[in-house]
Structure 1
Amino acid sequence: MLKGIIPVTISANLIKNLGSDQPLFVSGRLLAMMTLGKDNEGLITRREYLQYFNTLSIETKAALIADGQSGFGNELSAWTTAKELGNAGAQYLVLNDQKWPAKSVEVTGTTSDKIFINMVKAAVAGGKDYDLQIIPKLEGIKKYGYSKLVNRIELLLKMGIKQIIVARLNRKELAQLKEEKFFSKIGIELDNSDLGIKEVKSIKPKFILPVESAIATTLNAEQQLYEFYSRENNHEE
């Protein structure tokens, strides 16, 4: 079961240096930014992600959380995604409720309850041989509202899902969620700057995925390198 602050990275070096048993999230969004220079996880195909994830798993031997995005297509794609990433060593698979291809900055569409539940069921079946735990991620609160969010959580828990990620919340919605009886099953993803990690940590969700912080830190390091090279080249002139 996931708990605490989950490291978000695609760096084998960082994973090795952390030397922790804590699972780490291999973010498709971060991978797209580092390989394509674009903040859009939907540009990374299943094959591209699988190849990178498989190498990372072999090199680090760490407990990894795979990013299944929106299943990379239909129910069969979700089943295949779970089977392939489970075989590659994933212990957990995040599957979001966006329409495929998933977006990173703004959700442009979400699947219906029926389609999403069937996608999750397909992923559970695909990962069964590997004891892969499927963690649905609900991103569409701005599309379907708080009551529909609660309904989706209840449907997922009823079918046996153990933990669920909720993303793109505002403060009011976060406070409401804190009071729900199922809150102990909930992890919060911070995918924008609307909520800070300290603020969310204070309400004690089961776990936190600080995606925005990881991206900001990575971009800041790149900016420092850019400034260093620019300064050195200007000195040579």
Structure 2
Amino acid sequence: MVLNDQIFPSHSKIPRPPVSLLEFAGKLKAAQDGLKTSSVDLIVKLDGIRYYGISGIKERIRIASKLGVEKILIGHLETNSITELKNRISLADIGLAQDNELISRSELEQAEPAFIIATAASLICQKKIGTELVSRLEEIQYEKI
């Protein structure tokens, strides 16, 4: 399960402001409590780099680590933030989200993250499938008339 740090309602393509540090810790704790008896892994997605910068990323990583969250994903990166992120934070155990269509996978790979999740491509695929489904349902409805 991917849990981001945006205010409600969160959005995968358009960055929203982050929750406060206290709310962030509360969201993590609630998710962990809900997943205690589950085999689902929790991945924390930090989307607010444009709001809180690298220092905010570090603070949220520290909080997540303190609460025992091991999988962290950083999203909503901009081209100029990738190099700074790589220079200031070890990404050996942290993933990057490819949710900005202006940043290629190879650019993200240069930062040497633990993993990359192509969320932008996934959203495009979901939209296409949704459109096809609606179209097919409309065809079926028309055939009944």
TM-score after normalising by structure 2: 0.77
Whether the 8 Å contact between 2:42 and 2:69 is mirrored in structure 1 is yes
- One-letter identity of the residue aligned with 1:126: G
Whether the 8 Å contact between 2:78 and 2:100 is mirrored in structure 1 is no
Question: Which residue pairs with 2:117 in the alignment?
Answer: 209
Whether the 8 Å contact between 1:136 and 1:165 is mirrored in structure 2 is yes
Measured after TM superposition, the shift of residue 144 of structure 1 is 2.0
Q: How many Å separate the matches in 1 of 2:22 and 2:125?
A: 38
Q: How does 1:124-203 map to 2 (within 5 A)?
A: 124-180=32-88, 182-203=90-111
Q: How many Å separate the matches in 2 of 1:138 and 1:128?
A: 22
Q: How many Å separate the matches in 2 of 1:138 and 1:180?
A: 16
- One-letter identity of the residue aligned with 1:149: I
Question: Which residue pairs with 2:137 in the alignment?
Answer: none
Whether the 8 Å contact between 1:187 and 1:209 is mirrored in structure 2 is yes
Q: Which runs of 5 or more residues in structure 1 are unaligned? A: 1-92, 224-237
The alignment's C-alpha RMSD in Å is 2.4
Whether the 8 Å contact between 1:191 and 1:210 is mirrored in structure 2 is yes
SS of 2:37's equivalent in the other structure is helix
SS of 2:42's equivalent in the other structure is strand
Q: How many Å separate the matches in 1 of 2:129 and 2:2?
A: 27
- One-letter identity of the residue aligned with 2:15: V
Q: How does 1:19-168 map to 2 (within 5 A)?
A: 93-168=1-76
Measured after TM superposition, the shift of residue 124 of structure 1 is 0.7
Q: Which runs of 5 or more residues in structure 2 are unaligned? A: 132-145
TM-score after normalising by structure 1: 0.49
Whether the 8 Å contact between 1:192 and 1:212 is mirrored in structure 2 is yes
Q: How many Å separate the matches in 2 of 1:203 and 1:108?
A: 24
Whether the 8 Å contact between 1:124 and 1:133 is mirrored in structure 2 is no
SS of 1:118's equivalent in the other structure is helix
Q: Percent identity?
A: 29
Whether the 8 Å contact between 1:193 and 1:212 is mirrored in structure 2 is yes
Q: How many Å separate the matches in 1 of 2:129 and 2:17?
A: 33
